[in-house]
Structure 1
Amino acid sequence: MPVAELTISSKTYSSWSLRGWLLCRLAGLEVREKMVEQENPENRAELLLLTPSVLVPRLTHERASVWDTLAIAEYLHELYPEAGMYPKDRIARAHCRSVSGEIHSGFANLRSALPMNLKVRHERFPIFSGAKPDIERVEAIWTECLETYGGPWLFGEKPTVADAMFAPVAQRFLTYAVPLSANSAAYSETINSWGLMREWIDDARREADEVAELDVEF
């Protein structure tokens, strides 16, 4: 029986829910999933990618209630340090926290221009010029990490919190056929082939299309 509950929203559109779920799986914590109502105003704000500061995802575990993906990551790392959610090396661990925090708090143009949608693939998609610096910054982060730690994950041979945080970005790049360097494209495919990612995508494809349209400004 799961000892924890993870409140999430749409698996098709919700990048923050995906991050929270991946973090729980990285920690080895079995959770019962609780879906919030699509009409919930806070949930719609999250689906519209307006803010990460909503109460979804929320992890409820042993009388603790934890929301915000980075708070969930730190909580799980504190409970399950043996899971290796962060690198063992202090310098690499600081780097991992830094890039995870950066994607968590920034990249607003990227979020609005390329909303997550796991049910579609575009062969061509016009990318808002304001999103291009965000894309370039993501690629710079990935390049530095992959070259420093040897890949195939951002911090070496195993996925970490950083990979969970960047997973929705990699999926966006695949969905919208964003032109990428060879290394970035390979990393996006590593994320796409990740067993946990495939499990989430399969669930998303079975999900009812309750959100007919997202009023995202492009």
Structure 2
Amino acid sequence: MQDTEIHPALAALLREHRSHLLLVIGNKNYSSWSMRPWVVMKAFGIPFEEVRIPLGQPDTTSRITAYSAAGKVPILVADDITVWDSMAICEFLADQFSILNLWPEDIAARAHARSICAEMHSGFSSLRFDMPMNIRAELHGKGKTLGAQADIGRISEIWEDCLTRFGPNGFLFGDFSIADAYFAPVVMRFRTYGVSLAPALQAYADRVCAHPAVAQWMQEATAETESVPWHDARSEG
């Protein structure tokens, strides 16, 4: 499913599984973890209520812990079920709305997609630290430490492999999936810090930015007015 139209069977699925979904997120400009499930839900037309809690404010922690004791965003509340952590949320959505094929339908492609998302979820610490997501900023040439460059190299390998083996329609596994949403914050980082990519990989990054769900997130991130000084300082350092 490539746009934000609601699948004909989705209303029935919502009635059957969960009548109301609420997604708690941080600032769209900064919160890469929040971006992932938000983009998935928008891309596949899954209706939800959004609660945005700005980060770095005096009441941020208390507002987040009102939804989850883990104290971090994103958080999905589905009636009496609370799911936290972006990967757990995406897996929950894939289970609840299996008809939408949030993961690739082919079992080999699906296993590969889960593997690269798990690698993204647990790795690339240098890229995260040295090039934190800051969509509003233009920081070309910043953050290119040896560790970040090694992470960029590995991500480039992942993208090239997936696009070659699975991506005839231009996304990592053909149609837009959780995998593309999971790497969307990386695309934001590459854009902010002016990372140079091979032409085919830059074309992929451009397709991700042009996807309606990602484009909406970027537009709303740019419109935000809050600033998180420690985050901005780390971005520019």
- What is the percentage of aligned positions where both structures have the same residue? 34
Q: 2:113 matched to 1:96?
A: yes
Of residues 91-100 and 25-34 in structure 1, the stretch that sits farther from structure 2 once superposed is 25-34
Note closer, same or farther for the CA distance 1:178–1:57 as it changes in structure 2 (3 Å cut): same
- For residues 165-199 of structure 1, what are the alpha-carbon distances to aligned partners after superposition, in whole Å with 9 as ceiling and x for unaligned? 00000111111111111121111111111111111
TM-fit CA distance, 1:32 = 1.0
Note closer, same or farther for the CA distance 1:136–1:206 as it changes in structure 2 (3 Å cut): same
Query: Partner letter of residue 225 of structure 2?
Result: A
Contact 1:9 1:43 (C-alpha < 8 Å) held by counterparts? no
Contact 1:87 1:155 (C-alpha < 8 Å) held by counterparts? yes
**Aligned match of 1:159:** 176
1:57 to 71, 74, 86: 74
Note closer, same or farther for the CA distance 1:181–1:54 as it changes in structure 2 (3 Å cut): farther
Q: Distance in 2 between matches of 1:90 and 1:19?
A: 22
Q: How does 1:13-92 map to 2 (within 5 A)?
A: 13-38=30-55, 39=57, 40-41=60-61, 55-92=72-109
Larger radius of gyration: 2
**Aligned match of 2:8:** none
**Aligned match of 1:201:** 218
- In structure 1, the gaps of 5 or more residues are 45-52
Note closer, same or farther for the CA distance 1:98–1:54 as it changes in structure 2 (3 Å cut): farther
Helix, strand or coil for the counterpart of 2:229?
coil
Note closer, same or farther for the CA distance 1:126–1:98 as it changes in structure 2 (3 Å cut): closer
Q: CA RMSD in A?
A: 2.1
Note closer, same or farther for the CA distance 1:182–1:74 as it changes in structure 2 (3 Å cut): same
Query: Partner letter of residue 224 of structure 2?
Result: E
Note closer, same or farther for the CA distance 1:164–1:126 as it changes in structure 2 (3 Å cut): closer
- In structure 2, the gaps of 5 or more residues are 1-18, 65-69
Helix, strand or coil for the counterpart of 2:197?
coil
Q: Distance in 1 between matches of 2:226 and 2:210?
A: 24
Contact 2:61 2:71 (C-alpha < 8 Å) held by counterparts? no
TM-score, normalised with respect to structure 2: 0.81
Query: Partner letter of residue 14 of structure 1?
Result: S
Contact 1:12 1:116 (C-alpha < 8 Å) held by counterparts? yes
TM-score, normalised with respect to structure 1: 0.88
Aligned residues: 208
